[in-house]
Amino acid sequence: MNTSPTERAQAALWNGRAGRAWVDGQAMLDRMFRPFESMLADAAAARPAQAVLDVGCGTGATTHAIARRLGPPAHCVGVDISAPMIAAARLRAGQGERTDFLCGDAQTQAFAPGRFDLLVSRFGVMFFDDPVAAFANLRRAARPGAELRLIAWRSADQNLS
Ligand SMILES: C[S@@+](CC[C@H](N)C(=O)[O-])C[C@H]1O[C@@H](n2cnc3c(N)ncnc32)[C@H](O)[C@@H]1O
């Protein structure tokens, strides 16, 4: 498949230095971002969701938190472009938890059409080279009536108040 220079740079970054830094800092980052994880787990429980996709799941804290909160038979899938982060996410699976982790680009990953009733992301959707293509791909993976719950940084001036 043809990929753009930006896509290749993002893949290299998250499979290299940035991916290693997130795996090394996993415990600290998870503590820091736990309030955001809770917001997404609350949203999943409120539906309640049965099939959840966590976009740019990283080392999987949010995916696992939602799977624990919903319990079986709910199924949570994390997708991330970073092989080391997906490997770390797989190692954290709890007993009886229904999670799967895919190493792939959310912009192009061939999800089963209409598979998910909730799509979430904790800081994983700001890196797309082609956001329109990415969200069109995620839309295909969503069931009719599915929800999209995203937490994303904005520009530095909009994040400071
Ligand atoms: C800021 S980190 C957040 C990770 C995780 N959601 C968390 O909260 O710990 C951004 C994540 O997005 C992933 N990512 C970047 N571009 C991606 C893409 N096109 N498809 C899937 N994942 C991507 C990175 O590999 C990284 O794990």
pLDDT in tens, 81-106: 999 999 999 999 888 889 999 999 99
* Stated pTM of the model: 0.95
In sequence order, what DSSP letters do the residues of 10-37 get, joined into one string? HHHHHHTHHHHHHHHTHHHHHHHHHHHH
Whether ligand 1 lies within 6 angstroms of the CB of 82 is answered as: yes
Residue 158 has pLDDT above 80, yes or no: no
Complete domains list, the chain, with CATH: 5-152 (3.40.50.150)
Whether ligand 1 lies within 6 angstroms of the CB of 57 is answered as: yes
The mean pLDDT value of the chain amounts to 93
One-letter identity of residue 114: G
The CA distances from residue 25 to 33, 106, 156, in Å, are 12, 23, 22
Tell me which residue of 92, 78, 77 sits closest to 27, measured CA to CA: 92
Whether ligand 1 lies within 6 angstroms of the CB of 69 is answered as: no
129 CA closest ligand 1 atom index: 19
